[in-house]
Each structure stands twice: as C-alpha cells, then as structure tokens.
Amino acid sequence: MEEELEEMGLTRIGVSLPSNLLNKFDEIIRGRGYSSRSEGIRDAIRAYIIEYEWMEREEGEEIGTITYLYDHSQRGLGDELTNAQHHFIGMIKTSTHIHLDEENCFEVVVMKGDAKKIKELAENIMSLKGVKHVKLTTTHGGI
C-alpha cells in the first residue's frame, strides 16, 4: 500500500487531534461534500500555505487587526499577552477585550505601522500556550 501511495506522489502521515476538533472537522468536510478526510486535510493545508505565503510577502506601512481567542484561566497568559502588546505600544491604536464565557476571552488589536512588526506580534500571540485561535488581517488601506 505504501509503495502504491508513493507511486501516486502521496505520503501517508499520522496526526494526533483532540476528538472534539476531529469531530468538527468531519462535520465540515461532510457538509462540503468531501469524499474523505484526506481530501479535506489537503485543502486545509493548501489554504494554510497560501495564507502563510501571503503574510510572508507583506511589507511596508499597513493597518491591520489581530483577533484572537484564548483561555483566560491559563496561568500567566493574560500577563504574557499584555507584555507582548507592550513591545508594540507605538503601533497599537486600540484594542477590545470581550469575555465570552467562564474560560474564553476574545481580543481585537488594531495596529498601524510596519507590516513585519504587525506580523511579529501576531506570531508572538500564536506561540502562547492557551491561545486557541489567531487571525491576522492587514491592508494598505490608503496609508
């Protein structure tokens, strides 16, 4: 079987996922009409690569938002997020913090400045334990 996959240019991998994440993914791929998990995973990886490559090309002055969802019960995370933002204080124009429930908070940080610095803050936030989702959106927006 492995030799057949290699002949087709495919490689078999194993991935460990929390069951709730896999269940949600399975719902989505069924709803979108995928014939298999592999097909859905390939599309998800392609989308991730495209977004990453787009972010890598960003440079110059931009305006952007970093939105993220995190578990505020994660020990020390609130302080780490605040410290990360303080390193970019001159670029942050505003931020909004929303308490979603007993465990989850949602924040939006609006920034203006060097695109690479905006991306750096987003990546710093992504790397923190307890951060569940991060989305960076930037635009030149007439700057």
Report the Cα 82 to chain-centroid distance in Å. 19
CATH topology of domain 59-139: Alpha-Beta Plaits (3.30.70)
Q: Does residue 4 register a pLDDT over 90? A: no
Say whether 59-139 and 7-55 share the same fold.
no
In this prediction, residue 143 carries a pLDDT of 43
Answer with the residue of higher pLDDT: 63 or 96.
96
d(CA 136, CA 100): 20
d(CA 114, CA 117): 5
> In the predicted model, what is the mean pLDDT of the chain?
87
Q: Does residue 97 register a pLDDT over 80? A: yes
DSSP 142: T
Helix (H) or strand (E) holding 77: helix 77-86
pLDDT in tens, 28-70: 999 999 999 999 998 888 878 767 766 666 677 888 899 999 9
d(CA 70, CA 77): 9
Pairing, β 131-139 against β 61-71: antiparallel
d(CA 110, CA 112): 7
CATH code at 7-55 = 1.10.1220.10
Q: Does residue 129 register a pLDDT over 90? A: yes
In the chain, where are the structural domains located?
A: 7-55, 59-139
pLDDT in tens, 63-90: 889 999 999 999 999 999 999 999 999 9
d(CA 136, CA 115): 11
